[in-house]
Amino acid sequence: MRLYKRKDSASWWVSWIDQKGQRHRKSTGTDDKSVAKALAGKWQQESFMEHHFGVIPDVPFRDALLRYADAKKRENPKGYEDTNRYQLQMILDKFSDKMLSEIDAKALRGFADTCRETQKDASLQRYLALIKAILNKAKDEGDLVSLPVFPKVKQPKGRTRWLTVDEEHRLLKACPERMRLLIAFALDTGGRSSELFRLDWRYVDLGSGRVTFIETKNGEDRSIRLTERAKRVLLALGPKDSGPVFTYQGKPLKRVKSSFNTARTKAGLEDFRFHDLRHTFASRLVQQGLPLYEVMHMTGHKSLTMVQRYSHLAPEYQERAVAALNTYGHDLVTVPANDRQDLKLENEKPPENRGLEMVPSGGIEPPAPSLPMTCSTPELRRLCLA
């Protein structure tokens, strides 16, 4: 082991060769030689323990989190700034003094209990997912042997609030012109508020009738074909070569929560948020028969999980299910030829009388006397005892 200083650093560096013959060079981060020497001895001992006994040196959770944050920032800078940065800061505040080995089931349960006092289950689930991602990265890098058991959180029900045509007319009527144009465009493109606010005229092609959302939440660009109404919105805004599409008093639009809530209240809409315009976009696609896989690409989701909530809105949803069930069981019950006319007349009787005379009093095949029968309804019991 050798301590030395580099010309470009005031800190002491350490160099040593491990049991595999591999050389390591590392900065101690201090200009105090005694502290640097202690750190060098600790690292060398950890290297020895890992090689001979499989003991992985413990790492501060803070370091693992910062490495994860750097990777996320490189992958999707805008998404990191909009969402991950604040969530990671909250997690760091809670676990900044912990080592990786201390992030165990007990610590995670305590974190969940504290979060539940101020956060909804959906937010808690996102925080736990981030912590798991941090630990997974640390495990992949060799700093962690295995992941702890995470507390279970009730899966929040996905919102499916969407506008009816009447509600849409009321909302648009209650909006000032600029807000009306933004809402109409959101309804016809499914853009997230962040995507709409960042939309630049450079990514609008009225000639081909397309608009491209860049730096989306999942880090991938998404191209959307424009409806006729969406084209009229862009023409009304006055196309330019570049610059933000949606502005207020000449400046890029950044938020609309206050003005949107005013319009929503005026329109008499309850439990409706700006993001629900995106739900409306997806719901209408499904209602028009578009396959969920295609809806997934239109909305920019990376998996079908997020669009499964709209599956029940598909036309002929139950009709297809019933048709599938009708392919089974044709030979289980047969109606004698002489009774087919009676069955036809039976179907014309009021619903409450149907089914009471389809089977003769003795049954299709009377049961053997030695076998007891249990009848679940008075009608069936009467037939059984006849």
* Number of Cβ atoms within 10 Å of the Cβ of 323: 10
Give backbone dihedrals phi and psi of 142, rounded to 5 degrees, phi first.
85, 10
Residue 217's closest CA among 84, 353, 89, 317? 84
Beta strands in the chain (DSSP E): 2-5, 12-17, 23-27, 204-205, 210-213, 222-225, 247-248, 251-252
Q: Do the beta carbons of residue 296 and residue 304 sit within 8 Å?
A: yes
Q: Do the beta carbons of residue 184 and residue 230 sit within 8 Å?
A: yes
User: What is the DSSP-derived secondary structure letter of residue 80?
Assistant: I
Q: d(Cα 126, Cα 87) in Å, to the nearest integer? A: 8
**Rama region for 29: left / alpha / beta (φ>0; ψ in -120 to 50; rest):** left
* Active site residue ranges: 192, 217, 275, 278, 301, 310
Distances 45 to 1, 41, 53 between C-alpha atoms, Å: 11, 6, 12
Q: d(Cα 32, Cα 355) in Å, to the nearest integer? A: 94
Residue 163's closest CA among 265, 283, 311? 283
Structure tokens at 142: 């060799």
Question: Is the C-alpha dihedral spanning 138, 140, 145, 151 positive or negative?
Answer: positive
User: What is the DSSP-derived secondary structure letter of residue 154?
Assistant: P
Q: What is the largest CA-CA distance in the chain?
A: 106
Provide the β-strand partners of residue 250.
Answer: none
